[in-house]
Amino acid sequence: MTTMREAFGEALIELARTRDDFVVLDADVAGGTGTAVFRDAFPERFIQCAIAEQNMMSVAAGLSTTGVVPIVTCYAVFASMRAVEQARNSIAYPEFNVKVIASHLGLDVGPDGPTHQAIEDIAIYRAIPNFRVVAPADPFELKKALPVILDTEGPVYMRTGRSPVPYVFDRDVEFELGRGKVLREGMDVTIIAVGVMVHRALDAAEVLEGEGVSARVVNMSTIKPIDRELIAESASRTGALVTAEDHNVIGGLGGAVSEVVTSTVPVPVERVGIRDRFAESGDPNDLAEKYGLTAEAICAAAKRVLERKAAVSACG
């Protein structure tokens, strides 16, 4: 187990050894976002912007016109709310080549509590034209995603994470922007998950198999542009979908998948996530338990959606 933010810091250092085209901007949270190791290894490529996220966002836009790719790093509540209007008007609308990479997501934040638990960032960035939205599932995928988003011209928002997460992949995992990946085949229901929920989805599929339910599991690490083909194909193949995210059930992965399903292959969808409420301080695992982000919660959602699928079939 390692943390996504540690993986992010390591990935930055590895990349910086072979390419000199990016700089990292920080808002005095390098310890929190994982960029402190990069700051120490490449101080000349680390730009301290102080606790002034709005200025940082627009400074990044200006820097991007001088031959470097700025990576803006801070906590997701600030990246997606305090400074989001700067991300929109200084970066997205003028189409500057800036990457915004945020840690401290959802209930994974844990004891710092709701002020720092970003449960809206996917919904917010997804609604801004020109931004792509990425949320890798584990440290290996994050390390593969980073060079890809750097090579993708234009604004990208990426989630990392704070707490230790189990590995879902091995180091040879491939990352393709805009493509989801089937991690496990199944016939009855598809669980589409993102970030820390991917390993919980795999656990849920295991439990469901023991109960006679065959669940397909998809890692949807790009939320925008979303993999419409894979969603529609999963809907056709299994006739029922469950989405799982450490985010509000409004507007995030569940929203994105539902939008695709309703305009392609309409099938029942159940959304696992934070049910439109502020949580509280606590250990991330305890919070996942209390607020319904566990493998058990995914299993329960799978059973609900299978009942709805059966009801639809009965009507048909």
Partner 1 sequence: MSEDIYIELSQKAKELRKYIILMNCYAGSGHPGGALSSVEIITYLFHREISFFPDNRNDPDRDRFVLSKGHSCPVLYGVLAQKGFFGVEEFKRLRHVEGMLQGHPDRLKTPGVEFNSGSLGQGFSFALGCALGGKRAGRGFRVYVLLGDGELNEGQVWEGMMFGAHYRLDNLVAIVDYNKYQSDDLCSNVTALEPLAEKFTAFGWHTMEIDGHSFQEIGDAFKEARTVKGRPSVIIAHTVKGKGISFMENNPVWHGSLAPQGEERVRALRECGLDDIG
Residues near partner 1 (CB under 8 A): 23, 47, 49-50, 52, 54-55, 57-68, 70, 85-86, 89-90, 93-95
Burial class (CB in 10 A: 0-12, 13-18, 19+), 115: exposed
Place of tokens 């000349």: 44
Beta carbon nearer to partner 1, 52 or 187: 52
Which two three-digit tokens encode residue 138?
Answer: 């584990």
Using DSSP's 3-state secondary structure scheme, residue 171 falls into coil
Q: Which is nearer to partner 1, 91 or 158 (CB)?
A: 91
Nearest distance from C-beta of residue 75 to partner 1, angstroms: 17
Closest approach of Cβ 97 to partner 1, in Å? 12
Instruction: Give me the least distance between CB of 50 and partner 1, in Å please.
Output: 7
Query: Where does residue 188 fall: left (phi above 0), alpha (psi -120 to 50 degrees), or beta otherwise?
Result: alpha
**Which bin fits 268, alpha (ψ -120 to 50), beta or left (φ > 0)?**
beta
Cβ proximity to partner 1, 59 vs 272, nearer residue: 59
Give one DSSP letter per residue of 180-248, joined into a string: -EEEE--SSEEEEE-TTHHHHHHHHHHHHHHTT--EEEEE--EEES--HHHHHHHHHHHS-EEEEEEEE
- Please say which residue, 25 or 302, places its beta carbon nearer to partner 1: 25
> Between 18 and 66, whose beta carbon lies closer to partner 1?
66
Smallest gap from Cβ 53 to partner 1, in A, equals 9
Name which of 83 and 235 has its Cβ closer to partner 1.
Answer: 83
Catalytic residue among 6, 44, 53, 95: 53
Tokens (6 digits) for 180: 């989801």
Which segments of the chain does DSSP mark as H helices, in order? 4-18, 30-33, 36-41, 53-63, 76-77, 84-86, 121-126, 139-151, 197-210, 228-238, 253-263, 284-291, 295-315
Q: Catalytic annotation on 44?
A: no
Closest distance of CB 233 from partner 1, Å:
36
Whether 304 contacts 243, CB under 8 Å: no
Residue 224 CB, nearest distance to partner 1 (Å)?
A: 21
Point out the residues that are catalytic: 53
